[in-house]
Each structure stands twice: as structure tokens, then as C-alpha cells.
Amino acid sequence: MGTIYSHSRLSSFENCPKQFEFRYIQKIPSTSEGIEAFVGKRVHEILERLYVFVGRGQIPGVEKVIDRYQKLWEESYDAERVRIVREGTPLSYYRELGENCLRGYYLRHYPFDDAETLGLERRVLFPLDSAGKYRMQGIIDRISRARDGAIEVHDYKTGARVPPQRILDQDRQLALYQIGLSREYGEDTPFRLVWHYVAKNRICSSTREPEELVSLRETTIQRIDEIEAATTFEARKIALCNWCEYKERCPLHATPETLARLEAEEKAVAEAAALAKAEDDRQLDLL
Ligand code: SF4
């Protein structure tokens, strides 16, 4: 069985092949996280929890939701690991951003009865081809059945930028999820792709024609073929370089001193692992 792809795996290759190489081929663990990603994860966790309670018929009050967010922040925040990339922006700004996203979402959707929730943070795994050679996976923030019968694929976004409709109409991620879910809900079931730009309190949606999904399957398979055939991975400066967890070791950004330090650290780790293995082997021989 070949590699299972995801939208983020494909995007990483498209944005910067070198980042893709660091992350998915060399599998270099990430030791830091941008504050924006940290806030996004907390907001997702709280919304998931909120809908679990809604499903039980126990809708918490908005202040309870915000309290839970604040506690989760305290439990999860690690100043050593979470980076504020935009210099001069205080931590409190991001903490309040998450709170405002949740408050706005809650007040807009209360009492959460506009659709029946069918899944929360649901993993989908599906083939793009009939032979099952090209497989995709993803985690869907929320799946619901709307009053008009459409299956809705929801995605929460905490970023400030709301893309224009023409970009959303070509969005790959949620359309791929539709391909995965149509195996479960039926090819003829109407679907709606829904983005919640919670920082702006805006909801955007889009639908796909069957031929657009066929074309998406084909272009995604082509992209996977291109990735699998790649032997070199060029570094490509992008707007998000400052958020890249590999910037320190990137050939376009790293200083010779940093590269030498990383090389020495990695050598020390490899030597320690070799010593530990030798000791394990010796102990086994004694048994
Ligand atoms: S810092 Fe930029 S150029 Fe370097 S690997 Fe990351 S995304 Fe690519």
C-alpha cells in the first residue's frame, strides 16, 4: 500500500518542496508552533466540545464556553514552544482573538438547531481511483444534515482573511472531503461546503458539480504522481516562511553557524541512539 495523502501534505509540496521534504520525507519533528495555529487548535477543540454537549441536549451558556476556553489555554500554552511571529503583538491579543471567535460563533448559532450534527472531527479515508492506489485522508471539523437535506461539510477558520467566492469555488480540501463522504451518504445526495471565518463572523459556502469532482480526482492523482516522482526538493520563499517550523535549517534562511549547530546536535543524538542500541544488544546477548 502506498502513501496516504492529505490536503495539507499536497499543499506543503505545492507551496515549498523543501518544507515538504523536511516534514514528510525526513520526518524532522517540529519543536515549535505559531501562535495562530495554537489559537486555531483551541477554538476547534472548544467548538467540538460545545457540539458534544449540544448533542446531549445540554447547551452550555456562552460564559461557560469562554471559561472552558480560558482553562484550556492555561493548560495548553507553553511559552517555550509557541512562537509569536508578528513582533510586537502581545500574547493577550491572541488570547482575546480566540475568545472573540468563540463568542461570535456562539451568539450567531445559538441554540444550534439549524442542522443535525452527524460527525465531529471525523476522519475520512478514501481512494481516488477504483484500484485504491491513490488514497486520501482528512479530519472534518463537523458534518451536518441541513434542513433542506443537504450534507454540509464544515470547516472553521480563525485566520483574518476571507477569500473571494471564486477561490472558495475552487477549494480542494472540502471538495475532497465531499468525495470521501459521498461513499457514505450516496453520490446523489446534495452536499454543501461551508467555511466559518470565525474571526470575521462570516460564513461562506460553495457546491460542486459532479464533473468538477471528476476533474478534482484527476488533478489530485496527477499531483500525487508528480510528488512520487520528485527526486529534488527546492526551497521556495513564500509569504509564510516566517511561520515555517524549518526556517532555522532552511537553505534560504539558515546561517552557517545555525546549520553547524544543528548538524552537531543531530550527530550527538545519532551517537546516543547508537550507544543505547549497542547496550540493548549486549543485554540481549547476556539473557
Ligand atoms: S522557510 Fe520558507 S523556503 Fe524554507 S523550507 Fe520553510 S517554507 Fe520553504
Query: DSSP per residue over the chain, as a string?
Result: --PEEEHHHHHHHHH-HHHHIIIIIS-PPP--EEHHHHHHHHHHHHHHHHHHHHHTT-PPPHHHHHHHHHHHHHHH--TTTEE--STT--HHHHHHHHHHHHHHHHHHHTT--SEEEEEEEEEEEEESSTTS-SEEEEEEEEEEEETTS-EEEEEEE-SS----HHHHTT-SHHHHHHHHHHHHH-TTS-EEEEEEETTTTEEEEE---HHHHHHHHHHHHHHHHHHHH---------TTGGG-TTGGG-TTT--HHHHHHHHHHHHHHHHHHHHHHHHHHHHHHH-
Does any ligand 1 atom lie closer than 6 A to the CB of residue 253? yes
Ligand 1 centroid–CA 255 distance in Å is: 14
CA-to-CA distance for 128 and 134, rounded, in angstroms?
A: 5
In one letter, which amino acid is 179?
Answer: I
117's grid cell: 450534527
d(CA 77, CA 85): 16
**Cβ(243) to ligand 1 under 6 A?**
no
Q: Is 21 in the pocket of ligand 1 (CB under 6 A)?
A: no
d(CA 249, CA 245): 9
pTM over 0.95: no
Phi, psi of 276 (to 5 degrees): -65, -40
**What pLDDT score was predicted for residue 275?**
85
Confidence at residue 80, expressed as pLDDT on a 0 to 100 scale? 94
pLDDT tens-place string over residues 147-201: 999 999 999 999 999 999 999 999 999 999 999 999 999 989 999 999 999 999 9
Q: Is 49 close to ligand 1, i.e. is its CB under 6 Å away?
A: no
Q: Cβ(250) to ligand 1 under 6 A?
A: yes
**The pLDDT value given to residue 1:** 67
Query: By alpha-carbon position, which residue is closest to atom 7 of ligand 1?
Result: 241
Q: Which amino acid is at 278?
A: A
Low-confidence ranges of the chain (pLDDT < 50): none
pLDDT of 25 reads 95
Residue 236 alpha carbon, nearest atom of ligand 1 = 3
Cα dihedral 59/65/67/71 (nearest 10): 110
108 Cα: distance to centroid of ligand 1 (angstroms): 38
pLDDT reported for residue 47: 98
Cα of 221 from ligand 1 centre, angstroms: 25
* For the chain, counts of helices (H) and of strands (E): 9, 8
Ligand 1, atom 2: closest residue by C-alpha: 241
125 lines ligand 1 (CB under 6 A): no
- Identify the pLDDT of residue 258: 84
Ligand 1 geometric centre to CA of 277 (Å): 34
* Shortest-distance atom of ligand 1 to CA 235: 3
